[in-house]
């Protein structure tokens, strides 16, 4: 990939840089930064406003076609935007599942009506989306899902349960995978629906996590009626459509989380600079220096691996199984950043928010605990390894 910017790309970079400089205000971003890589409930409203501001300035959905609310730019501009956001320590947008997954999937598979209806409100954050894939007995083996959608005139009647549904408690819409043909082989009887979360019969019950936050939920469907026009990509074609969403998810993770990793690493270096051990700054300790330098190297490698995936997209190809490598690099890098933060804090790492002696008001304790979920969400590390083994290396099926 050629990293030399064209004059147009340079002026785009200057435009983004200037805008971020004027709009990333230190006071409230300091608060948002406490939110780690995943938005915490207490900052949802701020992030909603932040996304709207970014959208109005033209910086959300850069690669989406103009007619559906985007700017029809390339992934090169998307990469520039993410790089600048990392430098400015800008917060993430709230509607991450719509921008990273639902939107690109609707643009790829939607009818003209669906493409006009949904993407613009995703970008402006007027409508928040969640992803209804996992069920109590179907996670890694997603194709075994058992939520049913049975045809009744022009509608489908949905019954069943989803679990671990992030943002469902604030979502207006769900990407729903449901079984529409119980007799077909398991991958062939699934349909992808765009489900209105405000429909009668939808119940959302928050689940509290290790961190104490309730950022995901159980979602129950009790005779929920969905019109057939809400099917995306055709009846019983949900597996192909759903997998496209997951490819975009891993790609978006690669893009967006590269920025979050960089911001987390910068924070870690700051923590090391401000911490002394045995009378000397931690940054003077040769072992700590090695660990910090290795993390910096890995963060750069992550960035360039992302750039390789972009080269593919610039050639007009869809994101492929190699996106799994980006997901794994994020997980490994981010968990090591968090582990090292605990090591740097030493015995203070035991003190959480609420203790007068907690370092940085317990921020690192929260992000450390939250980072444990990274190797599960978006497909577990073992599953990513299976994908790489089978589909990149051509090894026999596990
Ligand atoms: C913070 C968070 C947010 C999430 N948000 C969402 C969301 O918004 N929407 C959604 O639909 N889901 C969401 N999930 C669910 C997530 O996608 C699943 O948890 C994940 O896919 C694993 O499924 P499972 O929990 O059923 O575990 P299982 O599939 O039961 O896996 C258990 C263990 O077995 C291993 N394993 C399973 N199969 C294999 C295999 N073939 N080879 C080797 N090892 C294997 C797994 O790696 C894992 O270690 C979220 C999860 C988390 C933690």
Mean pLDDT of 49-57: 95
Give me the mean pLDDT over the 92-103 stretch: 92
Q: What pLDDT shows up at residue 295? A: 97
Structure-token pair, residue 75: 């992934």
Quote the ligand 1 centre to 380 CA distance (angstroms): 5
Q: H or E element: which one contains 8?
A: helix 7-23
Q: What is the predicted pLDDT for the residue at 278?
A: 87
Q: Tell me, using a 6 A CB cutoff, whether residue 270 lines ligand 1.
A: no
Residue 253 Cα distances to 38, 226, 273, 329, angstroms: 12, 30, 29, 10
- Ligand 1 in reach of 207 Cβ (< 6 A): no
User: Given a cut of 80, is residue 30 above it in pLDDT?
Assistant: no
DSSP-assigned letter for residue 138 = B
pLDDT tens digits, 316-333:
777 677 678 888 899 999
Whole-angstrom distance, CA of residue 119 vs CA of residue 151:
27
Distance CA 169, CA 167 (A): 5
Residue 89 in this model has a pLDDT that exceeds 70: yes
- The number of C-alpha atoms within 13 Å of 334 and in the hemisphere containing its C-beta is 28
Residue 32 is predicted with a pLDDT of: 54
The percentage of residues in the chain with a pLDDT greater than 70, rounded to a whole number, is: 94
Beta bridge pairs of residue 196? 173
Mean pLDDT in the chain? 90
Assess whether the C-beta atom of 398 lies below 6 angstroms from ligand 1: yes
Query: What pLDDT, in 10s, does the model give residues 204-260?
Result: 999 999 988 898 999 999 999 999 999 999 999 999 999 888 877 766 666 677 878
Q: What is the pLDDT of residues 339-383, one digit of tens each?
A: 999 999 999 999 998 999 999 889 899 999 999 999 999 899 999
**Position 35 confidence tier, pLDDT thresholds 50, 70, 90:** very low
Is residue 165 lining ligand 1, measured as CB closer than 6 Å? yes
CA of 376 to the centre of ligand 1 (A): 5
Please tell me the residue having the least CA distance from ligand 1 atom 48. Answer: 380
Single out the residue of 132, 135, 65, 62 nearest to residue 100, CA to CA.
Answer: 62
Span 158-168, mean pLDDT?
97
DSSP reduced 3-state for 246? helix
The H-or-E segment that residue 195 falls in is strand 190-196
Helix, strand, coil fractions of the chain, as percent rounded to 5: 55, 15, 30
pLDDT tens per residue across span 193-207: 999 999 999 999 999
pLDDT at 3: 74
* The pLDDT of residue 293 is above 70: yes
Q: Considering only CA atoms, which of 106, 112, 99 is closest in space to residue 62? A: 99
First to last CA, the chain: 34
Ligand 1 geometric centre to CA of 11 (Å): 42
Q: Please state, in angstroms and rounded to a whole number, the distance separating the CA atoms of residues 102 and 192.
A: 11
Q: Which DSSP string corresponds to 161-174?
A: EEES-TTTTT-SEE
């Amino acid at each position: 990939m050629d990293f030399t910017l064209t004059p147009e790309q340079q002026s785009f970079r200057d435009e983004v840089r200037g805008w971020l400089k004027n709009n990333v205000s230190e006071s409230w971003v300091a608060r948002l930064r406490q939110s780690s890589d995943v938005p915490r409930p207490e900052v949802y409203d701020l992030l909603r406003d932040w996304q709207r501001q970014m959208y109005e300035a033209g910086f959300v959905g850069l690669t989406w076609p103009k007619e559906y609310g985007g700017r029809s730019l390339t992934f090169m501009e998307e990469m520039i935007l993410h790089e600048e956001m990392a430098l400015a320590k800008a917060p993430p947008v709230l509607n991450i599942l719509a921008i990273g997954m639902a939107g690109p999937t609707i643009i790829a598979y939607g009818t003209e009506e669906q493409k006009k209806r949904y993407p613009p409100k995703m970008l402006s954050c007027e409508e928040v989306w969640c992803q209804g894939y996992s069920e109590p007995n179907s996670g890694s083996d997603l194709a075994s899902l058992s939520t049913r959608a049975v045809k009744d005139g022009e509608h489908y009647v949905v019954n069943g349960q989803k679990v671990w549904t992030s943002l469902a408690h604030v979502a207006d819409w769900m990407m729903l995978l449901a079984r529409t043909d119980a007799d077909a082989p398991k991958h062939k009887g699934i349909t992808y629906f765009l489900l209105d979360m405000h429909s009668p019969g939808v119940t959302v019950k928050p689940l509290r996590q290790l961190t104490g936050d309730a950022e995901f939920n159980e979602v129950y469907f009790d005779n929920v009626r969905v019109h057939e026009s809400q099917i995306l990509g055709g009846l019983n074609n949900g597996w192909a459509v759903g997998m496209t969403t997951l490819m975009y998810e891993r790609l978006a993770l690669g893009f967006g989380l590269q920025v979050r990793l960089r911001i987390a690493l910068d924070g870690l270096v700051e923590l090391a600079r401000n911490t002394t051990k045995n009378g000397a700054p931690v940054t003077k300790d040769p072992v700590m220096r090695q660990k910090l330098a290795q993390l910096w190297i890995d963060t750069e490698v992550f960035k360039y691996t992302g750039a390789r995936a972009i080269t593919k997209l610039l050639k007009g190809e869809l994101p492929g199984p190699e996106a799994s490598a980006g997901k794994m690099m994020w997980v490994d890098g981010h968990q090591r950043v968090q582990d090292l933060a605990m090591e740097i804090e030493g015995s203070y790492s035991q003190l959480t928010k609420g203790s007068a002696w907690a370092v940085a008001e317990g921020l690192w304790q929260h992000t450390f605990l939250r980072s444990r979920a990274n190797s599960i969400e978006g497909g577990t590390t073992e599953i990513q390894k299976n994908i790489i083994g089978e589909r990149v290396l051509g090894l026999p099926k596990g």
